[in-house]
Amino acid sequence: MPGNIQSIERAAAILRLLSGRNRRLGVVDLAGELNLPKGTVHGLLRTLQHVGFVEQDKDSGKYQLGAALLHMGSSYLDGNELRTRALNWSDSLAARTHEAVRIGTLHDSRVLVVHHVFRPDDSFQTLDVGSLLPAHATAMGKVLLADHPYAADELIGQGLEAFTDWTITAPDRLREELTLARERGWAWEVGELLAGQASMAAPIIDRTGRTVGAMGIVGKAERLLTTRKPRAELLSYVREAARAVSHELGAIPW
Amino acid sequence: MRERYVAAVDQGTGSSRCLVFDRAGRIVSFSQREHRHIHPHPGWVEQDPAEIWSNVEAVTGRALRDANLEPSDLVALGIANQRETTIVWDRHTGQPVHQAITWQDTRTDRLVRELAGAGEVDVRKITGLGFATYFSGPKLRWLLDSVPGLQQRAQDGDLMFGTMDSWLIWRLTGRHLTDVTNASRTLLMNLETLDWDPEMLELIGIPRTLLPEIRPSAEVYGEARGQLAGVPVAAAIGDQQAALFGQACFMPGEAKCTYGTGGFMLLNTGERRVLSESGLLTTVCARVGEEPPSYALEGSIAVTGSLVQWFRDNLELIGSAPEIETLARTVEDNGGCYFVPAFSGLFAPHWRSDARGVITGLTGYITKGHLARAVLEATAWQTREVVEAMTADSGVSLSSLRVDGGMTANNLLMQFLADVLDVPVVRPIVAETVSLGAAYAAGLAVGFWSGREELRSNWHIAAQWLPNMDSAARDRGYRKWRKAVRRAVDWLDEEDLPQDS
């Protein structure tokens, strides 16, 4: 068996350290941990930065995992943390819109439901937390894919499954839809997953500007839409709530 | 017509918060700030009243600014507060004479034992409580005995005592008063007359001149000064009673359990005072204006959420409280591990101040994931003990449990709770029931809401967890839990008791 490549081993060790409890480290910290000269570590960091695997924080000069790496891996923000942070605003959104609220994160090109508030009409409903939804057929999924092109490419590569006659299955149409979602800062769908049902969602953004989740409402198309468009009032509540959660996340010191 | 709002200050054990609600009971704005906990000795837990007041000012200001509101947009301000925490201040300078002694503080252990052995007085019948370090009266007595010169200043009428509600109301309006729910936690109030009880004052040794006037939970106490100038301060209610109010449990037989630092289950018993045979407390539910008061049975659990904080801060196995669910889900079950968090003794239904925490069932197999499970499960098992006591005292068995508080964001815990209680667990659409309850009480006092029916119509189910555990597993787990509790009690010896100077 040929020997391992030393510089890749060292780069991996850096990434492992940056994914640990201290999510931000300086060159000196890393050099100390790895028992390597500062110059060597600096060289490795420069290459890792070039491919987007690490980023340097402007204020502190310290290094952290980069967006490209985070997009490749599983969900970056702990879903349980997200739910806790979002609890008040998701309740408020359900109360305002009289619809069910869900929060989702991207998980292997699908949407993992991390939080669900029942439609407040006291009818029997079951918790969806933990279930996986197709990303291209839900408003939450479109919002998440819009900011995660790697995940969108992967999903398109696997083929877009049709759930109803209205599911978007053509890659170009999905890409257009994602561009639109990115520009507008929200997404919607009607009957693309389930006939007669509609959903709308907006991104939850963290302090670095990344979309870490999507928050939206889901319900009967006739209640959510007017002349085949999302009702403006409901949409503004959804966007306001997602903004409030984003604001809340901005306060988290990473 | 211009939209009006009610603000609530929730001055809790861990933080001070301000929430603004609209007429439909929806949150319009929210601000929170944590304060320090001071641990001068093991078992002593203090907070700084001046820091808390400045936090309350900061969060109310911030909550209004965030929603672009002026004080004139508020019809009223209601206060919900951590209960029993004891403050004494100088009526002339406004300066606290000592840090606040919190409800978790066990320094009065020896004093409480002496009081319990002292006499003929039927404490349970008069106050609905038993002697425990939990309640304010003995904390106040400790201050009088321990801070030099305090006895004399008290005799001279220079001092004011209050729980957190009194401190805030005095700061806000300049009036020295408390509400019936807070007063019912002092061991000094007579549950029937709703006034300070001469026999209890005599027994514990408290001069009446220190004490605030006892008022209803909902009435206009006065107008706020300072940044909230002109806003009627219209409610004060202990945080657990506030949560019961916020859950719209207005009728006898309705119950809720709130999970914050500790866990608190309250069952509304209407105008009937039920004296517990099973280790529960009898307490005042609320009193709205001149209406007759309603009462509640309460099961207080000292440590629930604070165990997760301890796991985060002292063991550093997680970076944030919600991560405990992520860690717990790395394993299938508790691996046989049980954690009895008797950090300051055990509260309901055991009331054992000689208990201390234990982790049992440890083997080489146990990982941090199993410990995380055991931490969460401790909350559920403790709830089951309290539920059984409620059933024994009231004769009513639970058909579902209404829950609220921060820990309801933990799905694993809520599911496990439904499993071990074998009833559905229901979370209402506003998890912030403490603040909502304070807002409801204040809003009722100023006529913002027409009555309880309007408030009840705001209550909706936001989530429900259904039991899904076979009864053999449930029984086995509970049996183990009770064995673990037996290992926690009778730990403290006489020589471990704090020395009163």
Convert the pLDDT of each residue in A149-162 to its tens digit.
888 988 999 999 99
Q: Are residues A170 and A152 in the same domain?
A: yes
Residue A93 lies in a domain: yes
Q: Could you tell me the pLDDT band of residue B432, with boundaries at 50, 70 and 90?
A: confident
Q: Could you tell me the pLDDT band of residue A76, with boundaries at 50, 70 and 90?
A: low
Q: What is the pLDDT of residue A51?
A: 79
Q: Which of A72, A94, A117 is the last residue of a domain?
A: A72
Q: Does A253 touch chain B (CB under 8 A)?
A: no
Q: Which of A24, A45, A72 is the last residue of a domain?
A: A72
d(CA B193, CA B216): 13
Q: Are residues A180 and A98 in the same domain?
A: yes
Q: What is the pLDDT of residue A70?
A: 60
Please name the residue of chain B whose CA is at the shortest distance from the CA of residue A23: B319
Q: What is the pLDDT of residue B301?
A: 93
Predicted TM-score of the model (pTM): 0.80
The token pair that represents A131 in the structure block: 């279930």
Q: Does A95 touch chain B (CB under 8 A)?
A: yes
Give the C-alpha distances (Å, rounded to integers) separating B455 from A120, B20, B404, B459. Answer: 15, 16, 17, 7
Please name the residue of chain A whose CA is at the shortest distance from the CA of residue B325: A80
For residue B28, pLDDT over 80 is answered with yes
Residue A1 lies in a domain: no
For residue A72, pLDDT over 60 is answered with no
Q: Are residues A62 and A98 in the same domain?
A: no
Residue A68 lies in a domain: yes
Q: Are residues A62 and A103 in the same domain?
A: no
Q: Are residues A86 and A189 in the same domain?
A: yes
The percent of residues in chain B predicted with pLDDT above 90, rounded, is: 76
Q: To probe the interface with B, which of A24, A77, A84, A252 has the most B CB atoms within 10 Å? A: A84
3-state SS of A129-189 is: CCCEEEHHHCHHHHHHHHCCHHHHHHHHHHCCCCCCCCCCCCHHHHHHHHHHHHHHCCEEE
Q: Are residues A29 and A99 in the same domain?
A: no
Fold (topology level) of B5-247: Nucleotidyltransferase; domain 5 (3.30.420)
Higher pLDDT, B106 or B382: B382
Q: Tell me the residues of B at the A interface, defined by beta carbons under 8 Å apart.
A: 24-27, 30, 319-326, 406, 408-411, 429-432, 460-465
**B120-133: per-residue pLDDT in tens?**
788 999 999 989 88
For residue B500, pLDDT over 70 is answered with no
- Residues of the domain holding A202: 79-250
Please, which contacts does A154-158 make with residues 24 or more away whose CB atoms are closer than 8 Å? A154/A109, A155/A109, A158/A109
For residue B395, pLDDT over 60 is answered with yes
For residue B320, pLDDT over 90 is answered with no
Q: What is the pLDDT of residue B328?
A: 95
Closest CB from B26, B322, B323 relative to A95 = B26
For residue A253, pLDDT over 70 is answered with no
d(CA B265, CA B270): 16
**B70-89: per-residue pLDDT in tens?**
999 999 999 999 999 999 99
Q: Do A91 and B461 touch (CB under 8 A)?
A: no
Q: Are residues A152 and A97 in the same domain?
A: yes
Asked if residue B409 lies in contact with residue A78, where contact means CB atoms within 8 angstroms, the answer is no
For residue B255, pLDDT over 80 is answered with yes
Q: Are residues A145 and A229 in the same domain?
A: yes
Q: Do A78 and B320 touch (CB under 8 A)?
A: yes
Q: Do A21 and B319 touch (CB under 8 A)?
A: yes
Q: Are residues A88 and A174 in the same domain?
A: yes
Please name the residue of chain B whose CA is at the shortest distance from the CA of residue A87: B409
Higher pLDDT, B254 or B411: B411
**B286-303: per-residue pLDDT in tens?**
999 999 999 999 999 989
Provide the chain A residues 121-150 that lie in CB contact (below 8 A) with chain B.
121-122, 125-127, 129-130
Please name the residue of chain A whose CA is at the shortest distance from the CA of residue B318: A21
Number of domain units in chain A: 2
Q: What is the pLDDT of residue B497?
A: 64
A-to-B residue pairs, Cβ atoms closer than 8 angstroms: 74
Which chain A positions have a beta carbon within 8 Å of B434's beta carbon?
Answer: none
Q: Are residues A213 and A162 in the same domain?
A: yes
Mean pLDDT for chain A overall? 88
Mean pLDDT for chain B overall? 92
Q: Are residues A190 and A228 in the same domain?
A: yes
For residue B447, pLDDT over 50 is answered with yes
**B330-384: per-residue pLDDT in tens?**
999 999 999 999 998 898 899 888 899 999 999 999 999 999 999 999 999 999 9
- Beta-strand ranges (E) seen in B241-322 are 255-259, 263-270, 281-286, 294-301
Higher pLDDT, A254 or B148: B148
Please name the residue of chain B whose CA is at the shortest distance from the CA of residue A240: B28
For residue A74, pLDDT over 60 is answered with no
* Single-letter amino acid code for the residue at A114: V
Q: Could you tell me the pLDDT band of residue B1, with boundaries at 50, 70 and 90?
A: low
Q: Are residues A137 and A37 in the same domain?
A: no
Distance (Å) from the alpha carbon of B184 to chain A's nearest alpha carbon? 31
> What are the sequence ranges of the domains in chain B?
5-247
Q: Which of A22, A54, A72 is the last residue of a domain?
A: A72
